[in-house]
Chain A
């Protein structure tokens, strides 16, 4: 049975919440600003060896032989791992969809540049890298599949021969009478779009220390793991071990954004440990490894899409055809990013019918991994671009066409054609608020003046829904099984009344430990610094998933409040016994257990906990001496999808609207962001400063996506980006001063009304910048349809315009 937990701030057992909903300092920060947080690279263990990985220089090549004999003789080398070992000891990686996995080292052939082929464990990383140079690999290069379109060509080389095709997954979803909607529409707006690969690139790469216990035949891996219980299952499957023989100990991460990766490195280090008599083996991915072969490449998409629109601007149908290059294998779970748009397929709009035709293919590029937003950012780029095109064709203002199509406040909860349910929102109020903040009319006048002076200045008004709190059912469209994503915590109160909460995830940057402390401090009426939040590894944590899918703030709140409620009930029972009354007459407020309506009949929570542990003689009959409670939360009301993939998947629907003004330099194609305004409604903000920080961080990532970041491959699938000289992330000089404001429409479904809040800006910023660029380019009659809108691409567009060049 789940505990009944507070749904609103007012429901907390606190006369006046002091921490929740306030901009509090993060408890994580002192260790981070002093450099004392235990990032994995800091870890030293007795006898520890260092791993370096030999990688394929070929995008596609048979491996004829691997000779590691010289490397093994090199002074300081303890073990060398090759394909023979992994064939003997492991299984291919689990994937979604199933069956597109390979071993952690290439055995028969290499399928992408950077694929691990052999590895060394030595006394230092330097020596391990020296030894790699002594390994002889004989390759027989094969023709490569360079991109998604080529993967579908007749006679294209096959990445997995036994599959007979490079198509990983193909499915057509039709929701409602979509053909009828298009047949009846006054206008059909169609276009093609291209989203090039980019990705997470946290400032810390992945790192791990793996150790094989040869007596027990078990593995312990310490590292920067985002979802440790999930990761443990993957390792158990790979190693063929019982799942309780894999222990994952997560360390703080220097960022993740979904793209930390690390499965192969973890497995390779573990197997090297097995070969090196069980000594711990550390592998720290270096930046070039991350860029070429790490967990940081996402969304490599070709789109063809159409919007059905009536003359008055009403949008009635939306069709999307997606071709996504998942890369050489399914190991990075990149396919689920193609499924996530189902949760928000028609955006903020009352579009009644839709169609999604998805084709996911394998090529000789790096396997895709998740990245913040997990798929909707390209989808919104397509949808919002088409909405702008429709407005342009109809002569409507871009804000007005959106207003006309919004789901209205009285329509919530609202089920979109693709099946997900939006919990609440007020999109028109959000739009009005941001237009007001931007002084939209004045902006348009400023734009008109600039255009008269020959400048290419454009404005966009875009909006999106951030689906919050994922459920596995959201990804059933690509074969992911299961319903429910448990997140558990255990709260313990010791004999002195000190509170410790154990969670199954480690620090990643979102301030969740602070959130746990805020909630418990208010729940039990103590100072935040009296709460200790600790990471429990997979051997001791309650069921958990950790951060991902914009869920942890909400899920953690549910788990903390559930466990606190259980604890409160125990304390009430014990205190009632001590005060010789019934629990029903008792209440807990600000950490004091008291008899309702009787002044001074109260005792502090610490005394009750102390009594439980040290005075068993005073406990009610049957009460265990256990001031501890575990609660595991998952979103209520989730179910398996129907035959068209429809289900309630994400619990909350946050909304935001951005207004952006840009200028395109006609001579160079370079873009400057002149102004940026945001109004964001993610329900109750549990730590507003923290939420604001996530928003601005996601805007910066969105700017990178729109203008700068791209993993470029050549026509033979060779990656051309291997350093930060070529993978360009925004610096402090590339992010404009953004004005932002909050709206609060609490979720009726989530604990305390909070919604998933970390991703909306990355959903919107790329679309918003491209729409603003296209508004700027509109006088030239050209439009950008490819991301990133690099200066080179925009210059080519401007060149292609039928317009006097040297104005």
Chain B
């Protein structure tokens, strides 16, 4: 279980990394970017990933930061999950993002796994892509032609595939702070603590005049990308929160899923059922956090 051979370069700057990638692309050499490696190195070990060259970003210390700018928390792509977990700024200003971080693998994985790495890996069962979608994050991507910003809902294309081109680099993840009064929930149903979720949910909502407004309901672990549950969202918009309403939203959400994944842990039908359960549970918790009560 040893990787196939590959070459290895360590650019000093993000710009150098991008020009490396461009050069490899031009020369027809398959290059893969390495951040923390916690998802990628297993694939190397199993020879499921076989790049010609690995471009290691470890020297890009300038991409390690967490700072708030105008209501947005900007997080450098090379920031580790441990740094997010230990950030008071994130704990206070974006508790949903913080809570989701604690569910990622185990501590030893979070020591090295990076925020940018998770987003770029786009594992459909992973936490961060779902949270990105629920919170409307933005991805800052650097190419040889300069930077561009891609919203989360355009970023995740399919299983392990994002909007990042093979010559580009994700440099920053931009997370809106959680607005005052927003209720949120992040929950997973997994076989064991620390496992990838069979189904997970990330939810935000607000209560205005006793009714649910601006709900964001995202599920993960169910399809090729995290999924925004728009029918479930419409079902509760403008409605007074109740257990019955949320159960209905769950039903609608579950019905909305096209073809949930099936694997050794869960059949498609069981996943569809858990989707229902998690939507309801997340909505109940988010309502409570928004200061509401459920009849």
Contacts and interface: CB of A to CB of B under 8 A. Distances in A.
Complex contact flag A–B (Cβ < 8 Å): yes
A125 B2 contact: yes
B264 A710 contact: yes
B270 A795 contact: yes
B193 A668 contact: no
A130 B47 CA distance: 10
Nearest to A124: B2
Nearest to A722: B46
A721 B263 CA distance: 10
A670 B264 contact: no
A721 B46 CA distance: 14
Contacts of B82: none
A125 B5 CA distance: 12
B192 A728 contact: yes
A791 B2 CA distance: 34
B58 interface: no
A728 B193 CA distance: 11
B291 interface: no
Interface in A699-728: 708, 710, 712, 720-721, 725-726, 728
Nearest to B199: A668
A734 interface: yes
A730 B265 CA distance: 15
A667 B277 contact: yes
Given A668-B189, A708-B191, A792-B266, A126 B196 contact: no
Given A288-B1, A725-B195, A731-B194, A668 B274 contact: yes
A99 to B, nearest CB: 34
A494 interface: no
A125 B264 CA distance: 31
B4 A130 contact: yes
A728 B274 contact: no
A790 B194 CA distance: 17
A795 B271 CA distance: 11
A8 interface: no
> Which of A126, A667, A733 has most chain B Cβ within 10 Å?
A667
A806 interface: yes
A710 B267 CA distance: 15
A455 interface: no
Nearest to A287: B1
B4 A792 contact: no
Given A288-B1, A288-B46, A792 B265 contact: yes
Nearest to B267: A792
Contacts of A287: 1
A130 B264 CA distance: 30
Nearest to B266: A792
Given A126-B3, A792-B266, A728 B191 contact: yes
Contacts of A795: 270, 273
Contacts of B3: 126
A796 interface: yes
B33 interface: no
A731 B192 contact: yes
B78 interface: no
B270 A286 contact: no
A119 B130 CA distance: 44
Nearest to B274: A668
Given A125-B2, A126-B3, A791-B191, A806 B247 contact: yes
B1 A670 contact: no
Contacts of A721: 264
Given A670-B189, A725-B195, A731-B192, A796 B264 contact: no
A733 B264 contact: no
A733 B194 contact: yes
A712 B193 contact: no
Interface in B256-272: 263-267, 270
Contact of A129 (B2, B195, B266, B274): B2
A125 B198 CA distance: 35
Contact of A790 (B5, B46, B265): B265
Contacts of B2: 125-126, 129
Contacts of B247: 806
Interface string A765-807: 0000000000000000000000000111001100000000010
A309 B266 CA distance: 38
Interface string A109-135: 000000000000000011001100100
Nearest to A732: B193
Which of B5, B196, B264, B273: most chain A CB closer than 10 A? B264
Nearest to B3: A126
Which of A133, A668, A721, A730 has the most CB atoms of chain B within a 10 A radius of its CB?
A668
Interface string B2-46: 111100000000000000000000000000000000000000001
B2, B5, B47, most chain A CB atoms within 10 A: B2
Contacts of B265: 726, 790, 792
B196 A792 contact: no
A156 B94 CA distance: 60
Nearest to A714: B264
Nearest to A731: B192
A287 B46 CA distance: 11
A130 B5 contact: yes
A791 B47 CA distance: 32
Nearest to A125: B2
Nearest to A712: B264
Contacts of B195: 725, 728
B1 A286 contact: yes
A806 B277 CA distance: 11
Contacts of A130: 4-5
Contacts of B277: 667-668
A130 B3 CA distance: 9
A708 B270 CA distance: 16
Contacts of A730: 192
Contacts of A733: 192-194
Interface in A499-549: none
A669 B270 CA distance: 10
Interface in A283-331: 286-289
Contacts of A669: 270
A708 B264 CA distance: 11
A796 B270 contact: yes
A50 to B, nearest CB: 10
A47 B270 CA distance: 54
Nearest to B270: A792
A412 B37 CA distance: 62
Nearest to B196: A725
Contact of B264 (A129, A667, A726): A726
A122 to B, nearest CB: 11
A723 B1 CA distance: 12
Contact of B192 (A126, A667, A708): A708
B22 to A, nearest CB: 29
Contacts of B5: 126, 130
A795 B264 CA distance: 15
Contacts of A708: 191-192
A631 to B, nearest CB: 45
Nearest to B2: A126
Nearest to A286: B1
Contacts of B266: 791-792
Contacts of A710: 264
A130 B1 CA distance: 11
Contacts of B4: 129-130, 133
Nearest to B281: A667
A651 to B, nearest CB: 39
Interface in B236-295: 247, 263-267, 270, 273-274, 277
Interface string B201-228: 0000000000000000000000000000
21 contacts: A125-B2, A126-B2, A126-B3, A126-B5, A129-B1, A129-B2, A129-B47, A130-B4, A130-B5, A286-B1, A287-B1, A668-B189, A670-B189, A712-B264, A721-B264, A725-B196, A726-B265, A733-B194, A791-B191, A791-B198, A792-B266
Given A733-B194, A791-B270, 4 more contacts: A125-B2, A130-B5, A726-B265, A795-B270
Lowest 5 A-B CB distances belong to which pairs?
A286-B1, A126-B2, A733-B193, A712-B264, A792-B270
